[in-house]
Amino acid sequence: MWKLVNVVEETDSAFNGRIQILKSIEGTRILVGGISQSGWLVKKVWQSALEKIKKLKPDLQSVLILGLGGGSVAELVSQYWPESETTGLDVDEKMVEMGRKYLKLDTLPNVKVVIADASSWVSTCKEKYDLVLVDMYKGVDIPPEFTTVSFMEKVKKLLRKDGAAAFNHLYSSIEKKDADEFGKCLRRVYSATASVTPEANIIYICFT
């Protein structure tokens, strides 16, 4: 069954290149390189992971999102933990602008937006968080600095005692080998890990 998809805006970003805003019967998506960065499909990818975390951690005070994009994951966090304070970090101001324009990012309660490069920001951040969500894609790729054990250890240091972190990775036949290696690195850093495989993704849930 064919679905009508409308491109409602195209814009250029110094970081991500061409950004497209698509609307269809399912909702709105923000795409880079043909891959959804924000919108209904991204929420679908993250939903099962956050439901699993919600069962384990029903009450959270603080959440950090590395790779805020247009704010779709922040919207889910606001639904599952409405009392939590959320910090959403993204390097691409244009992407955040599109989230405000098309995905109602500005209407989310208790969400603080930070425009910064996560690779340096995590090294200097003094705050501690109950949950860190990592979704660091640039188009179809994760920049290599965010796939290292060093970066994973820096994320771990941002967690409070008994905190958790979740990392998203594409998991199609093309990316499976890299994703499995990524998971091995995470298991070297965290005391326990679990995973969910929604759509063509895998989300690793890691515990201190």
For residue 2, pLDDT over 50 is answered with no
SS3 at position 42:
helix
Q: Tell me the average pLDDT across 181-187.
A: 97
CA 13 remoteness from chain centre = 19
Is 135 one of the annotated active-site residues of the chain?
yes
The reply to whether 165 falls in a domain is yes
Domain, as residue range, for 167: 37-207
Catalytic residue among 106, 117, 135, 162: 135
CATH number at residue 164: 3.40.50.150
The reply to whether 187 falls in a domain is yes
Q: Tell me the average pLDDT across 59-69.
A: 97
Q: What's residue 142's pLDDT?
A: 93
Task: For residue range 143-159, list pLDDT tens digits in order.
Answer: 999 999 999 999 999 99
Give just the sign of the alpha carbon dihedral 202, 57, 65, 98.
Answer: positive
Measured distance CA(200)–CA(173) in Å, rounded: 9
The reply to whether 58 falls in a domain is yes
Residue 3: pLDDT band (50, 70, 90) is low
The reply to whether 177 falls in a domain is yes
Angle between helices 176-189 and 149-157 (to 10 degrees): 50
The reply to whether 77 falls in a domain is yes
Q: Tell me the average pLDDT across 71-92.
A: 97
Question: What mean pLDDT, rounded, does the chain reach?
Answer: 94
**Number of domains composing the chain:** 1
